[in-house]
A and B are shown apart, each in its own frame.
Chain A
Amino acid sequence: MMPGNPIVHLIGEDIMVTPELVEELTATLGLDKPLHEQFLIFIQNLAAGDLGYSYHLHAPVAELILERLPWTLLLVGTALLIGYSIGVLAGAYAGWQTKQKGAKALTFIGFIISCTPPYLLGLVLFSVFVYHLGWFPFKGLYTTPDLASIMWHMTLPIATLSLFIFARNLLIMRGSVLTEKHQLYPQFARSLGASKGFVLHRHVMKNAILPIITQFAIDFGFILSGALFIEIIFSLNAMGSLMYTAILNHDYPILSGLFLVIAVMAIGANILADVLYGIIDPRIWREMQ
C-alpha cells in the first residue's frame, strides 16, 4: 500500500478543514468503503470503459491519458524506431568488425552513453544544443500547434532518448553478433564464397537480433513512463509527467488507469515479440508444432 492519505493532498498545504469535511470528502471519493468493495467498483466501472475521475486534475482519467498518449507515442515511438534501427546496425558492425577503429569507437561511445545517468546526459545535450547553440527551444511540445513547431520542439528530446536506446542496443547486438560469428554456420557460408557483409546481413543478424526483440518487449512495457527524465528536462506534458504528478499527489484513479494501460501495452508487446520470434526464427514455430 502507498503511504499517506489522498484527502490530505486534495485539501492542500495550508488549509484548515473540519473533521466533518474530511469525512465528507472521504465518502465522496469512496475511500471510506472496504478495499475489496473499492476494487469491485473499479472493476465494474472499468468494464463500462470508465477509468475513473481525477479529483486533482478535475477530469476523467481516460481523457487525461488520451490527451497525453499521442505525445508519448511520438516521443518514445520515434526514439524507439531510431534507437533500435541505428543501434542494431551499429551493434552488428561493431560485433562483426571488432578490430576496426570505427567499431572500437562505436563500442566506446555505446559504453559511455549507457553508463551516463539519463538526466545528466539530457542536461548536457540541453546545455549544448539549446543553451549554447540555440538550435532548439527551451521547453514545451510546441510554440504554436503546427507540424513544423512540433518537430522543432521534439527533435532534441527524441534524439536524447534515441541515444540511450541506441547505446543499449548497440551493446546487446554487438555481444550477440560476437557470439554468432564464432558459430560454424558463418564460417561455412564464408567457405562457400559468400562475402562478409552478406553473411552478416543474411544470416548472422537474423540470429543475433533475438535478444533485441526480447529487449523491445520489455521496453514497450515502459513506454509510458520511461521517458520521464526527458519530459522533465524539456518540460513536456506527456504520460511520464502525468504519472509523476499522480504519484506525488496520491491521485489513485490516474495511477490505476496508467498502470492498466501500461500492463495492456506490456502484454501486447510480449505477444508481438513472440510473433516476431517465430517469423525471424522459423525453428520456434516448428518446435511449437
Chain B
Amino acid sequence: MEIQKVKQKYISWSIGLSLLLILLVLGGGNVSASDNESKTLKIATANEIKSPSFLGDYNFELFQTISNSALLQMDENGNIIANLAKSWFASPDHTEWTFVIDDKYQWSDGTPLTPEDVAFTINYRGQLASSGWIGDTLVDTTTTDDSVTFIFNKPYSRLDFEFLSYSTIPKHIWESVSDPEAKTSNGPYVGCGQYYIKSVDVNSATLILEKNPYWKGEEPYYDTIEIHWFSNDNASSFALEKGEVDTYWRYASTYPYAAVSVLEQNNRFDIFQAPSIGFSFLGFNLLKGVGADLEFRKAVSSAINYEELMQITTLGYGSIPTKGFVPPSMPYYQEMPSLIYDPQAAEDILTAAGYIDSDKNGIRETPDGEELLVNLVIRQEYSREGKLVAEYLRDVGIQVNLKVVEVNTWYDLKDNYQYDLTITRTTPWGMLMHANWGTGYFDSRRTGQGVLHTDDNPAYLELCDAILATTDTNLLEMYAQEIQEYYAEYLPGVALYWKQDITPTNKDITGWYSTPFKGILNEISFMRIHPKT
C-alpha cells in the first residue's frame, strides 16, 4: 500500500513536470513575429535603449536623428549641410547665429513647427549637464516667423558642429513636463522629420518609427522602420545572417569584422565600407615622465608594427595611418608622412637621445641612469592592441609594465596622469568636438570621460583658439593643415590604425548614404533607400 502511494505520487509529479515542459516548449512555439512584409525596414543595433525616456536615455536620443531632426546635418564628406535649418549665418564676431527654418518640417500631430520650438529645444538643452555650455554662454534667443537667432556672451565659431546632434523637440508637448529626462513613455512621441517614433519597448528591445503624416518633404519609401537592439554581437550577427534584419548600425563603431566573411558568403548582403573617423590611438602622458620627451615619442612611433596591428585588429578592413593623426574621412585632411615600422630607426633615436642599454641586460636606461620602464595603462577592450604594443616596445629595449584595468580605474589613472602611455579610441563626435580635428582629446584645458587633456603647448592651444574664433573656410583649411602638421611633428598621440566602418545592407535595397558622423543613420539615407527594381 505504502509502495503504491509513493509510486502514484512519483508518477503524478512526473506527469505534472512533463506537462509544464511541453507547455513551455509548444505553448508559444507557433507565435510568429509581427512581421509586416510591406515596406518595413529592420535595423539591428548594439546601442541598447535601457529606459523609454526620450530625453534621458543616451541611446534613445541617437535614433531621434530621423524623427526629431537637428538643425543641421553632415554630408558624406564631413561638411555641415542644411537640415531643419535651410540656411544659417553668423554675425562677424560669431556671437549671434541665425537659423532659417525649413517649412517642410511639421510635427506628426499636425502642429506646425515654428522657430519657437527650436528656441525651446536649445534653451532646454542648456539646462542639462551634458550640454551645459549652452546655459553658460547663451544670453538671449529671438525668433521671427521663420528664423531663430541665438545670442552668446562670447564668440562661438563651432556652433554649427554643436547643432548637429540636438534633436528638436515640440514645445507644446514638453514645456509642461517638469522633469523631461525622467519622463518615460512607450510612445508615440511627436516628431518632425520623415518619421516619428511610434513606440519603444525595452522588453521587446524594439523601437518603431512610422512615416510622419504631416511631413511636407519628399516621401520616403518605407512606411515603418524597426530598430532592434541586441545585448550581444553574436545574436545580432545571427539575425542578419538569417535575414531577420536588413542592416546593422552602431554609433561610432562597425559591424564586427570577424562576422563579415560569413555575411559575404551568405550572399544576402552588400558590404558597405566607409572610412571611419573613429580609431584607436596611443596617447602619451605629455606632462610628466618619458612621454614628455619628443625623441622618446618619435622612437615609439617607429617601433610599432602598424601593418600587423591593423591586420590583427581590423582583419584587413583598415589602413596604416599617417603621422598627422587626422584620418582621410575628415574635412581638410592633409596627406602627411605615413607612420613606418622601423625598429632600427627607433633604436637609433633612443640611443641618440641617451636611452642606452649600458648594462647589456636588454633594457635601456634613461639618461638619468634609471631603467627605461614605462607604464602602459589600458582598458580591457584594448588588451590585444596593448599586448602587441608592449611587445614592439620591448623589442627596442623599452621595458613595459602593461596594466589592463577596468574602465573606471582607467578614468582615474588617466585624469590623474598616472601613466606613461595609454591606448584609447576616438569617436566621430570626439574628433569633431572642441576645435575639430581631434583637438578635444589633447587640449589640456578640457575635461571629459574619454579625453586625455595632455597637451599644454602654448602653440597648440593658440592654434585651437584660432580655429575656435573663425568660420572662414579658407582660414579653417589653413588651420586644419597646421594642426595636422603639429600632430606630425610633436606626436601627442599616434594613431595605431585607421579603420573602415562596415555596414552590411540588404542586397535588395539601394540608395544608402553614409556620413562620417552617424553612418547610415541620417535623413538623406532614409529618404533615398528603396528596393531595387
Contact = CB atoms under 8 A, between A and B. Distances in A.
A16 B182 contact: no
Given A5-B411, A25-B129, A155-B24, A139 B235 contact: yes
A195 B4 CA distance: 11
Contact of A201 (B10, B184, B234): B10
Interface stretch (B115-123, B198-206, B499-507, B524-532): B198-206
A11 B448 contact: yes
A236 B2 CA distance: 46
A132 to B, nearest CB: 9
B205 A235 contact: yes
Interface string A121-134: 00100110011001
A233 B434 contact: no
B139 interface: no
Interface stretch (A145-153, A215-223, A259-267): A145-153
B408 A140 contact: no
B447 A17 contact: yes
A136 B57 CA distance: 29
A25 B127 CA distance: 12
Given A123-B234, A233-B231, A245-B50, A3 B412 contact: yes
Contacts of A234: 231, 235
A10 interface: yes
A57 interface: yes
B449 A8 contact: yes
A235 B229 contact: yes
Nearest to B228: A139
Most buried by B among A13, A78, A232, A234: A13
Interface residues on A, range: 35 or more
A135 interface: yes
Contact of B203 (A9, A17, A89, A141): A141
A194 B412 contact: no
A144 interface: yes
A131 B242 contact: yes
A45 B205 CA distance: 33
A142 B53 contact: no
B3 A195 contact: yes
B458 interface: no
A243 to B, nearest CB: 12
Interface in B136-180: 136, 179
A14 B433 contact: yes
A7 B509 CA distance: 43
Contact of B427 (A13, A131, A159): A13
A22 B446 CA distance: 13
Contact of A14 (B133, B238, B430): B430
Contacts of A197: 3, 6-7
A140 B3 contact: no
B408 A3 contact: yes
A18 interface: yes
A58 B51 contact: yes
Interface stretch (B26-34, B395-403, B481-489): B26-34
Contacts of A11: 129-130, 448-449
B234 A143 contact: no
B431 to A, nearest CB: 9
Given A123-B234, A148-B28, A153-B28, A134 B56 contact: no
Interface string B475-494: 00000000000000000000
B433 A4 contact: no
Given A58-B181, A143-B31, A151-B27, A194 B53 contact: no
Contact of A16 (B23, B24, B411, B448): B448
Contacts of B133: 16-17
A257 interface: no
B204 A140 contact: yes
A140 B44 CA distance: 13
Given A131-B242, A149-B28, A159-B24, A4 B412 contact: yes
Most buried by A among B24, B57, B241: B24
A14 B427 contact: yes
A9 B415 CA distance: 13
A159 B28 CA distance: 14
Contacts of B434: 16
Contacts of B53: 57-59
A152 B129 contact: no
A19 B453 CA distance: 14
B451 interface: yes
Contacts, number: 201
Contacts of A245: 50
A250 interface: yes
A4 B28 contact: no
B58 interface: yes
B429 A202 contact: no
A142 B204 contact: yes
Interface in B1-47: 2-3, 6-7, 10, 13-14, 17, 20-21, 23-25, 27-29, 31, 33-34
B433 A149 contact: no
Interface in A70-86: 71, 78, 81-82, 85-86
A112 interface: no
B244 A138 contact: yes
Contacts of B17: 82, 85-86
A14 B234 contact: no
B430 A141 contact: no
A236 B24 CA distance: 17
Nearest to B202: A237
B80 interface: no
Contacts of B409: 3-4
B450 interface: yes
A248 B434 CA distance: 26
A145 B244 contact: no
Nearest to A158: B24
Nearest to B21: A82
A163 B56 CA distance: 38
Given A18-B132, A59-B182, A59-B184, A12 B58 contact: yes
B56 A58 contact: yes
Contacts of A155: 24-25, 27-29
Interface of A: 2-5, 8-19, 21-22, 25, 56-59, 71, 78, 81-82, 85-86, 89, 123, 126-127, 130-131, 134-135, 137-145, 147-155, 158-159, 194-195, 197-198, 201-202, 231-237, 241, 245, 248, 250
Interface of B: 2-3, 6-7, 10, 13-14, 17, 20-21, 23-25, 27-29, 31, 33-34, 48, 50-51, 53, 56-58, 129-133, 136, 179, 181-182, 184, 201-206, 228-232, 234-235, 238-239, 241-242, 244, 406-409, 411-412, 415, 427, 429-430, 433-434, 440, 446-451
14 contacts: A4-B412, A12-B130, A14-B427, A14-B448, A22-B447, A59-B51, A86-B17, A138-B244, A139-B205, A143-B33, A148-B31, A202-B3, A233-B234, A235-B235
Nearest 8 CB-CB pairs, A to B? Answer: A4-B408, A152-B28, A151-B28, A58-B56, A151-B27, A13-B450, A14-B430, A235-B231
